[in-house]
């Protein structure tokens, strides 16, 4: 399954390609077609711990979704159908200006940009004065 959908003779991968391949490998592993060497190559290709953890999460997500599909499909769940639904399904992309901003279809507030992470401006003297909470 994996070999039919993906070329294994790659030299380098970016994070998104690695995530897609790791997800597919997770689905394949749940369907009984494990490829540990390819998975290790993909994880090793990532240059930071953050990217490696994202790839590992994509792999686990693929495994979990495939197991869920198998469970919901019962004994009649066909491996090829599960692979087609999860890996070869239609790719959905959302343009940045089309992201919902209001109502129940909006992004959760936890995903909003946090002001606390913003660095103060170079000319801002507030960063060197005593914080207000230390005043009586």
- With CA atoms as reference, report the closest residue to 63 among 101, 97, 22, 95: 22
Instruction: Give the span between the Cα atoms of 117 and 83, in whole angstroms.
Output: 40
Q: Read off the pLDDT of residues 90-116 as tens digits, 9 standing for 90 and up.
A: 554 555 555 555 555 555 666 555 665
Q: Read off the pLDDT of residues 32-59 as tens digits, 9 standing for 90 and up.
A: 888 889 999 999 998 888 888 989 999 9
Asked whether the predicted pLDDT for residue 65 surpasses 50, the reply is yes
Instruction: Give the span between the Cα atoms of 11 and 132, in whole angstroms.
Output: 55
- With CA atoms as reference, report the closest residue to 44 among 99, 27, 36: 36
Asked whether the predicted pLDDT for residue 21 surpasses 60, the reply is yes
For 13-63, the DSSP string reads --HHHHHHHHHHHHHHHHTT---HHHHHHHHHH--SHHHHHHHHHHHHHHH
Going from the C-alpha of 113 to that of each of 73, 81, 109, the distances in angstroms are 39, 39, 9
Contact 96, 62 (CB under 8 A): no
Residues whose CB is less than 8 angstroms from the CB of residue 6 and which lie 6 or more positions away in sequence, other chains included = 21, 24
Instruction: Output the average pLDDT for the chain.
Output: 78
Instruction: Give the span between the Cα atoms of 113 and 58, in whole angstroms.
Output: 24
How many beta carbons lie within 10 A of that of residue 10, not counting itself? Answer: 14
pLDDT band at 85 (very low <50, low <70, confident <90, very high): confident
Asked whether the predicted pLDDT for residue 17 surpasses 70, the reply is yes
Instruction: Give the span between the Cα atoms of 3 and 9, in whole angstroms.
Output: 10
pLDDT of residue 89: 67
pLDDT of residue 51: 87
């Amino acid at each position: 399954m994996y070999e039919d959908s993906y070329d294994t003779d790659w030299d380098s991968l970016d994070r998104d390609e690695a995530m897609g391949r790791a997800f597919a490998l997770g689905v394949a592993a749940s369907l009984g077609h494990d490829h540990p060497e390819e998975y290790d190559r993909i994880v090793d290709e990532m240059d930071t711990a953050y990217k490696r953890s994202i790839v590992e999460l994509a792999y686990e997500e693929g495994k979990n979704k495939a197991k869920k599909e198998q469970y919901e499909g019962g004994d009649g769940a066909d491996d090829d159908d599960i692979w087609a639904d999860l890996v070869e399904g239609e790719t959905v992309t959302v343009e940045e200006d089309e992201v919902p901003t209001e109502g129940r279809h909006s992004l959760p507030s936890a995903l909003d940009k946090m002001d606390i992470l913003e660095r103060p401006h170079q000319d801002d003297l507030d960063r060197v004065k005593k914080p207000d909470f230390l005043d009586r």
